[in-house]
Chain A
Amino acid sequence: MNRKKKLTKTLSLVLSLVLILAFGVALLGKVQPASAVHGTLPPTGLVCTRNDTSTFSLTTRTGYISLPDGNTVFMWGLSENDRPFQHPSPFLCVDEGDTVTIVLHNTLPDDISLIFPGQQDVLANGLPSQPVFSGGDLVSLAPVAAANGGTVTYQFVAGTPGTYLYESGTEPMIQVNMGLFGGLIVYPQDYIDLVNDPSGNLAYAYDDPATDLPNPYTTYNPNYEYAIIMSEIDPMLHMAVEQGLPYDITQYRSRYWMYNGRSFPDTVADNGAEWLPDQPYGSLTFLYPLDPCPYEWQWVGNQKVCPDTGAANPAYNPYPALIRYLSVGTVEYPHHPHGNHGRIIARDGHVLVGPNGEDLTYEKFLVNVQPGQTWDTTFEWIDAEHWDPVNNPIPVTIPQLANLVYGTYFSGSPYLGNLDALPVGQQALNQCGEYWHIAHNHALQQITAWGVVLSGQITFTRIDPPLPNNCP
C-alpha cells in the first residue's frame, strides 16, 4: 500500500472517531460533573488545615461570596500559601504543646493584625504581641502587618486543648466583618484512643486539667466532628470598603447571617460544592443513632435488652458527635439544634470539669453563643424508647389519612428507617426513612437574607437509619 493510501485511511479513521465521539456526546445529554475546586473534601464534617510543623503561611485575599438571595458581597479573607480566596479563613488544627507559627502576609490597603484569644505568650516577630498605641490612642490589639506588602510572624505554644478563634486585632469591627477570621482547634496529644477502641472511633476533646489524662466526659466519635463558625455581614460596609467610600460605623446594620460563611440553603450543600468555590465549608450535621450495645439487641416482650454476649451489633455506635461553635458576630446567636439538646462540654476552651474531676457538663436547649465565644457540645440522637412497629409499637391510634397533615420530611412512618403509606397523590417523602431536624438560630430575624425569610443561620441535622440501611 502506498503512503498516500495509508495516510488517507488514517485520516479517515481519526476523523470518523472524532465525529462519532461528537455524536456520542450529543446523545448523552448528561452534564459532566465539574470537579470540586477544593479537591476531595468529605461532604460533611470539619475540614482541618494542618501540617507536621504547625506552621501556616496566611496571605490576605479579596473575593466575592454568593448569597442565596442572588446577591454577592465583597470580602477579605486569609488563605494558606498560594491558595485562592476563601471564606471563612481556614480552620487551623494543631496539637497541644505544638509551637504554632503563623506568617501573615498583608496585600490589603490597610494595616492588619491577628489576635489569638485564649493563647498565652504570643510572640510577634519574636517579641511579645502587645497592643499598639499611637499618640496615646489604641490603634491595634497586636503588632500589624503593614498595608500593601507587610508581613508579621506570630508564634505561640498551643495551650490547653479546645476551640478558639483567630481574628483581626486591627479595626476589628470592620476587618472581622470583612472576613479576617477563622477557627483554631487544639487537640489533646494522642486524642484518638486506639487502646480502648482500635477502630479509631473513640476520641477525647479535652484532658482533665488536674491529671492531664483524657477527660471521659468529652468522648466523641472523630468521624463525626463538626465546627460551625457564626458570623454576620453588613453589605453596606463591604460596599464602602470595596469602593473606598467612607462608612459610618454607628449606622452598622447586619443583613446577612452565616454559618461557616454560607446562608441557608447553601449551609447544607456539601463541603467544596462546585457552585460555591470560595465558600468551601458546609454545616450539615450527619449522624447515625447512638447505639451503646456491642451485641445485637434482643426483644423480651416489648422491652429491648442489650445482652452480655452474642453476635456483633452492626449498628454499634457508642460515641456522640462533637460540634464546635464559634462566633465572630456582634450579638448573641441563640442556636438551637432540634431533635436533642446539645451537651455543653466546654466554653472558650475551658472544659467543664470540677477541681476533683467532677462532670460539670450539662445539656442545654439553646447553644446561645455570645460574640467572641466558643462552645463545644456533644450531640447524639438516641432511640431512647425503642419504638418498633412489631415489638413495641407507639401506643397512639393514628388518625385517618384525611385528617393528617404531613411534615415536609416525614417518611410516612414514625419509625427510623421505615417508609410507609402516604395519602394518594402524596409521594414518599424522604430517601430511606431518615430523620431531618432543623438546627437554627432562634432569633428569627437572623434567619433571613436581607429580608428574605428562611435563610441565614439555618442548617440541618440528618440522622440516617443504623447501618446496614437502604440509604443511597
Chain B
Amino acid sequence: MENTLTPSPTPRLPGWFSTKALLPVILALLLLLAAAAYGVWSSRGNTLVDENGFPLNPAIEEKFGVRFTFAALVARHGLLDLRYRVVDAGKAANFGHYTETSPFVINETTGEKLDVTKMGLHNHRVEQGRQYYILYRNTGNTVSPGDLITIQIGDLTLEHIPVH
C-alpha cells in the first residue's frame, strides 16, 4: 500500500469566529479590567478585612487599640451606631476622649461628615475583647442605609465601611 502523505490542513479559525462578532466581548473585558483597576484604586488605605468581611486597618489598632466591627442606623435613622472591640485595653483607654482620638464619620458618596459625639463610653475602664459603641447624630440623614463610610481618626482612616 502506498503511503500517501496528505498535507495537514492549514489551521484557520472557523468562519463564524469573526472579530466583528467578538467586539462586544472585547469591549466588555476592557470594562471589567477598568472596574478591577478601580477596585484596587478605591480600596487603597485598607485592603484587609476581618472574618466577617469588615474592613481592618492595623495602624488604627496599633495606635488606638480598637477594631471597628459594625455600623448601623438606629432610632428611625436618627442615630448612627458605630461599634468597636477593644484589642489593647491600655491603648484604648483614651480612645474617643479627646478630639484627636475621636473618630469622625465621612459619607464616601457625598463627603459629608458626622462629628464627634458625646454619647458613648463615659469612663476610661475598658476591657480587652469587649465591644463598645459610639452614637452619632445623623444630621439631616447624612448617612443612609447602604452607604459606605470612612472613619477618620487624626491622619488614620478606615474606608468602605458598610452601613446597615
Complex CA gap A2/B18 in Å reads 13
From B22, B141, B164, A12 is in contact (CB under 8 Å) with B22
A19-B28 in contact (CB<8A)? yes
**With A33-B146, A265-B74, A273-B72 known to touch, is A430 a contact of B137 (CB < 8 Å)?**
yes
* Residue A460, interface by CB 8 Å: yes
A26-B139 in contact (CB<8A)? no
Chain A nearest CB, measured from B85 CB (Å): 6
B138-A431 in contact (CB<8A)? yes
A23-B122 in contact (CB<8A)? no
Chain A nearest CB, measured from B87 CB (Å): 12
* Residue A401, interface by CB 8 Å: no
A19-B140 in contact (CB<8A)? no
A23-B35 in contact (CB<8A)? yes
From A13, A68, A284, A430, B83 is in contact (CB under 8 Å) with A68
A19-B83 in contact (CB<8A)? no
- By size class, the interface of chain A is 35 or more
* Residue A408, interface by CB 8 Å: yes
B148-A472 in contact (CB<8A)? no
Interfacial chain A residues near B81, Cβ < 8 Å: 265, 269
B76-A4 in contact (CB<8A)? no
Interfacial chain A residues near B32, Cβ < 8 Å: 19, 22-23
B133-A15 in contact (CB<8A)? no
Interfacial chain A residues near B113, Cβ < 8 Å: 427
Chain B nearest CB, measured from A394 CB (Å): 23
B21-A9 in contact (CB<8A)? yes
From B24, B115, B141, A431 is in contact (CB under 8 Å) with B141
* Residue B63, interface by CB 8 Å: no
From A8, A275, A451, A454, B21 is in contact (CB under 8 Å) with A8
A27-B130 in contact (CB<8A)? no
Interface segment out of the listed B3-11, B36-44, B89-97: B36-44
Nearest-CB residue, chain A, relative to B161: A31
From A27, A275, A436, B38 is in contact (CB under 8 Å) with A27
B162-A31 in contact (CB<8A)? yes
B42-A431 in contact (CB<8A)? no
B146-A15 in contact (CB<8A)? no
Interfacial chain B residues near A4, Cβ < 8 Å: 14-16
Contacting A at CB under 8 A, from B98-147, are 108-109, 113-115, 117-123, 125, 127, 129-133, 135, 137-141, 145-147
B72-A30 in contact (CB<8A)? no
* Residue A43, interface by CB 8 Å: yes
A12-B21 in contact (CB<8A)? yes
Nearest-CB residue, chain A, relative to B77: A472
Complex CA gap A8/B22 in Å reads 8
A12-B24 in contact (CB<8A)? yes
Contacting A at CB under 8 A, from B12-28, are 14-18, 21-25, 27-28
**With A69-B130, A431-B141 known to touch, is A31 a contact of B115 (CB < 8 Å)?**
no
From B16, B17, B108, A29 is in contact (CB under 8 Å) with B108
**With A27-B35, A472-B140 known to touch, is A13 a contact of B24 (CB < 8 Å)?**
yes
Complex CA gap A43/B32 in Å reads 39
* Residue A20, interface by CB 8 Å: yes
Interfacial chain B residues near A452, Cβ < 8 Å: 121, 130, 132
Interfacial chain B residues near A275, Cβ < 8 Å: 70, 72, 164
Interfacial chain A residues near B118, Cβ < 8 Å: 408
* Residue B60, interface by CB 8 Å: no
* Residue A44, interface by CB 8 Å: yes
Interfacial chain A residues near B83, Cβ < 8 Å: 68, 70
Complex CA gap A462/B130 in Å reads 29
**With A426-B115, A472-B141 known to touch, is A286 a contact of B76 (CB < 8 Å)?**
yes
Complex CA gap A18/B28 in Å reads 9
From B21, B28, B129, A20 is in contact (CB under 8 Å) with B28
**With A8-B16, A26-B36, A265-B135 known to touch, is A19 a contact of B130 (CB < 8 Å)?**
no
Interfacial chain A residues near B163, Cβ < 8 Å: 31
Contacting B at CB under 8 A, from A415-433, are 426-432
Chain B nearest CB, measured from A79 CB (Å): 24
A428-B27 in contact (CB<8A)? no
Nearest-CB residue, chain A, relative to B115: A427
A15-B28 in contact (CB<8A)? yes
* Residue A348, interface by CB 8 Å: no
B147-A284 in contact (CB<8A)? no
A22-B76 in contact (CB<8A)? no
A26-B35 in contact (CB<8A)? yes
* Residue A110, interface by CB 8 Å: no
Complex CA gap A388/B105 in Å reads 34
B24-A70 in contact (CB<8A)? no
Interfacial chain B residues near A430, Cβ < 8 Å: 78, 137, 139
* Interface, chain B (partner A; CB < 8 A): 14-18, 21-25, 27-29, 31-32, 34-36, 38-39, 42, 69-70, 72, 74-79, 81, 83, 85, 108-109, 113-115, 117-123, 125, 127, 129-133, 135, 137-141, 145-148, 160, 162-164
With A44-B76, A70-B69, A265-B133 known, 7 other A-B pairs at CB within 8 A are A9-B21, A12-B23, A16-B28, A22-B32, A31-B162, A33-B145, A453-B121
Q: List 28 A-B contacts (CB under 8 A).
A: A8-B17, A8-B21, A8-B22, A12-B21, A12-B24, A19-B25, A26-B39, A30-B147, A30-B148, A31-B146, A68-B131, A69-B131, A265-B74, A268-B75, A269-B72, A269-B75, A273-B74, A408-B118, A426-B115, A427-B113, A427-B139, A428-B139, A431-B137, A431-B141, A434-B78, A452-B130, A454-B119, A462-B76
User: What 8 A-B pairs are tightest by C-beta distance, nearest first?
Assistant: A70-B131, A19-B28, A31-B162, A26-B35, A4-B16, A16-B24, A472-B141, A16-B28
